[in-house]
Structure 1
Amino acid sequence: MTALTHAHGTNPTARGPVRRAERALAPDLARGSMLLLIALANAAVAVFGNQPGAEASPHGWERPFNLLMFVFVHARAYPMFAVMFGYGLVQLARRQDASGAGSGAARSVLVRRNAWLVVFGLVHAALLNFGDFLGAYGIVGIVFTLVLLRRGEKVQRMVLWLWAAMTVYPLALGAVALHRALNGGPGSAPAPAVGVDSLTAPDYLTSIGDRLTEWPVHTLTVLPFIIIVWLGAWAARRGVLEDPARHRKLLVRTAVAGLGIAFAGGVPLGLVSAGFLHADQAAVDAFTLLYEVSGQFGGPGYVALFGLLALRLSRGRRSSRERPVVGALAALGQRSLSGYLFQSLVWVVVLSPYALDLGGRTGSPTLAAAVTAVLAWLATVLGAASLQRRSLPGPAEKVLRRLTYGPRKG
C-alpha cells in the first residue's frame, strides 16, 4: 500500500491506540536506543548552561568526548524523532481508516492528540525544560494533518525532491568551510555557546519565568523540521520499517548517505570544540553553519540504521522482542514520551545549580553530565521493561491516550 486508504465506513467512532501485536520492532528500538543520545545532549546543556552544551576548555578525555558529541549527538539525534513522529502520524491515520471509522475520525483524533501535545509541551517547558520539543511536534502535527496528510502521491513525492535539493547545501558548505580553514589566518575562535538563562537561574521559581519566555522562541526555531516529519510520513506510506527486507537497498543508501553527511558535517566544529583545530572566526562561523545544516540528515540516517538492525535481528532464531536487551529497548521506545519527561525531571533535580548541582560540585562537569545521562537512561530502560512485563503503558502515554481517545479507549 503506497497511500493512505480513504475509508468511508459507517462507524464514526474512532478506534483506540495501537495494539502490541500491531507494532513493528524498528520504530520502538530506534526510539528507545536514541533516547540515550538525547540524554547525553540534554544533560550537557543542563550542566554547562548553554547550547549546544560542551566544555569550553576540555582536557584529557574531555577532548575526544567533545568531538564525539558534535559528530554523533548534538543536532544529530533529535531529527530521528522528527522522522519517527511523521511515521507515527501516518500509522495512526491508517489504523483509523482500517477500522472503518472514516477519514474525518482520523483527522479528529490526530488534531486532538497533537493539540494535547502542545499542552504537554507548555507544561513540560514551564516546569522542567526550556528545550521542549513536544509543543513543536504538536503544532507541526496539526499543520501536517490538515495540509499534507491526505494529499495525493504527486504532492507526497515532493519531499524527495526537497531532500535531494537540500543535499547540495551541506556539500557546498563543506567546500566553503574547507576553503576557509585552509586559507584563513591564524586564530583561536571558540565553538559557539549560547547561554540559557533558565539553566543558570538562582532558584526554581526564577527558572520557571525564564523558561516561559525561552520556550516560544525555541519552539519557533524548530518548526521548520516539518520537512523531516514529512519525510517520515513518506516512508510510512510505503511501510519501510514494517517490511525492512523489501526496502533493504533504500535503507542502506539512506543510512550511508544520511549518516555520512551528518557525521562529516559535525567534524570541523567538533575538532574546534575539542581543541584539536584552531581557526579564525570566519572559519568557525562556516563550521557552525555546516554543523547545523548537516545535522538534519542524521534523522533519516539513524532511522535507516535501526531499520537494518531490526532486519538483522529478525533473522535470528529467537523472536527479536524475546531478547532481553532488545525487548527492554523496544519497551522504552513504546514509552518514549515518559522516558523523555523523566529525563527532564532528572536534569532539574540532579544538575540544576539550585538543586543538587552535581556538575558544579564535582571536578568534571563533563563527567557529571555523561554519568547522569547514562544512569537516567538506564533507569528508564529498566522501568519500561518492568511495565512491559505487566502490560502497562508509560504514565505519560496513559494520560495522552486518555485525553485523545477518552476513558473507554485508553
Structure 2
Amino acid sequence: MTTTVLETPAPGPVRNGERALAPDLARGAMLLFIALANAANFAFAGQPGLDPAPHGLQRIANFLMATFVDSRAYPVFAVMFGYGLVQLARRNPNRVLLRRNALLIAFGAVHATLLYFGDFLGAYGIVGIVATLLLVRRGDRFHKVVLWLWAYQTAYAAFLAVTAAIGWRGGTAGIVNSPNPSLAAHSYARSILDRLAEWPLHTATVLGFVVIVWLGIWAGRRRVLEDPAAHRRLLVRAAAWSLGISTLGALPYALMCAGMVHADPGTVEAMARLHAVTGEYGGVGYVALFGLVSSVPRFLAPVVALGRRSLSGYLFQSICWVTLFSPWALHLTGTWTAILAAVAVWVVSALAAHAMRGRGPAETLLRKFAYR
C-alpha cells in the first residue's frame, strides 16, 4: 500500500516561512462571505437572512447572496481545516492535534454561549478529533475513498436536480426566514439562554461536513496548495466543475429568493435542498480558484494577513454583529445595512490584521495551550 509520509520536522505550529499563500488568501477573502452571511442572519433574526419580499435592487442582492454566498462560504473553511490538519500532523504527534481540537470545542462553546449560536468552531473541533484518530495518518489508498464519496454526492445532487425539476409545481410560496430566538431576544441574558439551546442542535446539523474536511486532507497530503504550479491542471478542473455545479444548483433557489420565480411550498423546499447540497462544491471551487493564484498584488496583503489570523477575525465579527444588530443593542435591520456592515467590518479587520506584527489574540491563546 502506497503511503504519503507525514514528516515531523520540528514540533509546533506551522511557521510563517512554511505557510502557503493560497490557504491564507482563501481564508481572508472568504471571511467577507462569512461576514455577509452572518450579518444578514442577525439583521433578519433568522436564516437564510434574506428579505422575503424583495423589490428593486434588493432582488439582485438576494440573488447574488443565494448564488455565491449562502451555504458556499463555510465549506471553504472546512476544506482548509482538513488541509491544515495535515500540515500540523507533519510537525506534531497526535496528542498535540487532539489537544488543539479539544480547545476548538471549548472556544466554540464560549463563542456560542456569549455571541453567536451559529458557531462552527465546536464542530471543527469534533471533526478534527475524529479525523486525527481515523483519517490523517492513513495510507493513500484509504484516502481514495473520499473521491468515491464525492462522486456519489455528485450523483445525488444530479438526482435532486432531476426530481425537483420533474416535481416542479407553480404557486405563490416564497422563502421564509427560519427564526432564531437568540437573535431576536430583547435582553443579553435571554439571548444566552436561547443560544445554549440552539448551539448543540446547530453543531449536530453541520457535522456532516466531515466529507469536505476529508477532501481537504486528501489535497493536503499531496501538497496541492503548497505547489499549485505542479497541480495546475487539477486546480483548473476543480474550479471549473465545482463552481459550475455550485452555481447551477443555486440558480432555481436564487431566482425564488429574488422573487423572480414562484412555486408551491414543496418545490421551494426541494430547491432549497438542492441549493444546500451543491453549496459544498462552491467551497471546493473557491479553494481551487485561490490555489491558482501564485502571487497577489500588494493591496491584497491585508487579506492574506487576515487569513493568517482568521480565528481572531471570525470572533471579532461576532462581537460586531451582536453590537450592531441585537434588539437590546443598536438593533440595526435591513438588507443594505447588513451588507454595508459586513463589508466595513471585514475591511477594518483586514487592516487591523495587516498592522499586527505577531499572531492574533485568539491564535496566541489557542497555541499557548495547544503547544504547551
| Preserved contact between residue 118 and residue 135 of structure 1 (Cα < 8 Å) | yes
Q: Does 1:131 align with 2:97?
A: no
Q: What is the Cα deviation at residue 2 of structure 1? A: 6.4
Q: Read off the aligned partner of 1:71 and give its amino acid letter.
A: T
2:336 to 336, 349, 367: 367
2:366 counterpart of 1:400: yes
Partners of 2:68 and 2:315 lie apart in 1 by: 22
Mapping of residues 114-153 of structure 1, within 5 Å: 114-153=101-140
CA distance in 2, matches of 1:241, 1:95: 18
Matched, 1:154 2:141: yes
Provide the C-alpha distance between the structure 2 equivalents of 1:339 and 1:4, rounded to a whole number of angstroms: 33
Correspondent of 2:213 among 229, 249, 258: 229
CA contact (8 A) 1:2 1:237 kept: no
SS in 2 for 1:3: coil
Change (3 A) 1:4 1:354: farther
- The structure number with the bigger radius of gyration is 1
Alignment partners' CA distance in 2, 1:243 and 1:16: 22
Large movers: runs of 4+ above 4 Å: none
Identity of paired residues, percent?
56
- Structure 1: state its 5+ residue gaps: 97-105, 314-319, 360-364
Select which of 322, 332, 348 maps to 1:379.
Answer: 348
CA distance in 2, matches of 1:77, 1:171: 21
Does residue 278 (structure 1) correspond to residue 262 (structure 2)? The answer is: yes
> SS at the partner of 2:352?
helix
Offset of residue 215 of structure 1: 0.3
Q: What are the Cα deviations for residues 251-304 of structure 1, in whole angstroms up to 9, with x where unaligned?
A: 011111111111111111111111100111221121111111111111111100
**Closer/same/farther in 2, CA of residues 248 and 2 from structure 1, 3 Å limit:** farther
Q: Which residue, 217, 225, 236 being the options, matches 1:241?
A: 225
Once the two structures are superposed, the pairs formed by residues 41-190 of structure 1 within 5 Å of their partners are 41-96=37-92, 106-181=93-168, 184=169, 186-190=170-174
CA contact (8 A) 2:50 2:335 kept: yes
State how 1:211-230 maps to structure 2 within 5 Å. Answer: 211-230=195-214
Question: Deviation of residue 6 (structure 1)?
Answer: 6.3
Does structure 1 conserve the Cα–Cα contact (< 8 Å) formed by 2:182 and 2:194? yes
Aligned to 2:322: 348
Match of residue 263, structure 1, among 217, 238, 247: 247
Preserved CA contact (<8 Å) 1:4 1:90: no
Give me the CA root mean square deviation: 1.4
Aligned partners of 2:5 and 2:252: how far apart in 1? 42
Q: Which whole-Å deviations, capped at 9, do the CAs of 1:315-358 have from their partners, x for residues lacking one?
A: xxxxx4xx332211110000000000000000000111110012
Partner of 1:306: 290
1:196-207 map, 5 Å: 196-207=180-191
Kindly provide the amino acid, as one letter, of the partner of residue 90 in structure 2.
R
Aligned-partner Cα distance in 2 for 1:339–1:84? 16
Q: Distance in 1 between matches of 2:47 and 2:353?
A: 29
**5+ unaligned residues in a row in structure 2: which ranges?**
none
Q: Is the 8 A contact 2:323 2:330 kept in 1?
A: yes
TM-score, length of structure 1 as denominator length: 0.88
Give, in whole Å, the separation in 2 of the partners of 1:281 and 1:357: 31
- Write the distance in 1 (CA, Å) between the matches of 2:175 and 2:141: 42
Amino acid at match of 2:124: Y
Distance 1:164 1:141 in 2: 23
1:17–1:199 distance in 2 versus 1, CA, 3 Å: same
